[in-house]
Amino acid sequence: MPAERHQRKKARTSTGTSTGKGANAEAGPSGSGTGFKIPSLEERGADALPGLNKIKASLRQARRLLNKETLEPSLRIATQRRVAALEADLAAAERRDVEKKNGAKYHAIKFFERQKLGRVIRRAQRKLNEAEESGRDKKTARAEKELLHARVMLNYVLYYPNSIKYISLFPKDKEDDGEKEKLRVPKYLDAELSDDMDKTERTRLAMLLETRGLMDEGKLSGTPEKETERRQVELSSVAGAGDGAKKRKTNAEAETKEEDDFFDSD
């Protein structure tokens, strides 16, 4: 009897051990399941990026490893790829932080300028309707131009990149002469793009002309006041990109030549 009990106990112990090993084999990392894989940059959104300090620390660590002369060739290649990926992450994170900061900083001024341009557009539309009803071609042309310029400026505000400082369309240093003057469209689009302009004026005009060109191409709405969704378009944040805008300005002037007194009140 004692010998039989000993054999049964030994059999139970052996069975339990083999079952445990089987469970561990299935659950362990060496099983047939797929391991964790770091997603590529294309698969990650801007919100998935870690903070700047964490990226910088990882980049320093990778560069120190890369500086070791005894590093194996395969590991060196992998580290070089990691450095390149981290540098791209760092640039994206820095851009994200700048855009977030500027978005908050210029939110109020953009809001007020959108509201003002909305009133300007409604006023210009009323003037256009009245001019068309009266059959006066000169007034109709003026109202059409005013409406176009106001819509270009509204798109300018809506699609101005947060990666750079916002250049206002209605600077505070200019005095307003009553409510009618407040609803007058600035004459920026009547000016010629010139190297003699200061940097602020040149950048603003170049981006306004770029906005008008994108509207002509259909990439931006011709009636932004009616848009309910933002389009995937961003204006150039490079001030020197005014060459293309200058060409658009020349082409636009060749197509339509209208009077300078367009902005006179009725």
Is 41 a member of any domain?
no
Residue with tokens 């120190």: 64
| Model confidence pLDDT, tens digit, residues 129-156 | 998 888 888 888 989 999 999 999 999 9
- Judgement on whether residues 156 and 251 belong to the same structural domain of the protein: yes
Kindly state the average pLDDT of the residues 244-255. 47
Residue 2 has pLDDT above 80, yes or no: no
Q: Which pLDDT belongs to residue 179?
A: 52
pTM of the prediction?
Answer: 0.64
Q: Of 58, 82, 105, which closes a domain?
A: 105
- Judgement on whether residues 199 and 94 belong to the same structural domain of the protein: no
Q: Which pLDDT belongs to residue 182?
A: 64
> Got the DSSP string for 219-250?
SS-S-GGG--S--S------GGGHHHHHHHHH
What is the overall mean pLDDT for the chain?
A: 76
Residue 227 and residue 252: Cα distance in Å, rounded? 24
- Judgement on whether residues 215 and 123 belong to the same structural domain of the protein: yes
| Model confidence pLDDT, tens digit, residues 13-35 | 555 444 444 444 444 433 444 34
Q: In percent, how much of the chain has pLDDT > 90?
A: 42
Nearest to 258 by CA among 151, 143, 162, 174: 143
- Judgement on whether residues 175 and 128 belong to the same structural domain of the protein: yes
- Judgement on whether residues 146 and 88 belong to the same structural domain of the protein: no
Q: Which one of 158-172, 176-190, 237-251 scores highest in mean pLDDT?
A: 158-172
Residue 4 and residue 26: Cα distance in Å, rounded? 34
Torsion, Cα of 233, 186, 121, 243 (10° steps): -30
- Report yes or no: 262 and 225 within 8 Å, Cβ to Cβ: no
Residues 6+ positions from 43 with CB-CB distance below 8 Å: none
Please tell me what DSSP assigns to residue 260: G
- Judgement on whether residues 129 and 219 belong to the same structural domain of the protein: yes
Residue 214 has pLDDT above 80, yes or no: yes
Q: Which domain holds residue 118?
A: 106-263
Query: How many structural domains are present in the chain?
Result: 2
Q: Of 105, 125, 149, which closes a domain?
A: 105
71-75, 122-126, 145-149, 257-261: segment of lowest average pLDDT? 257-261
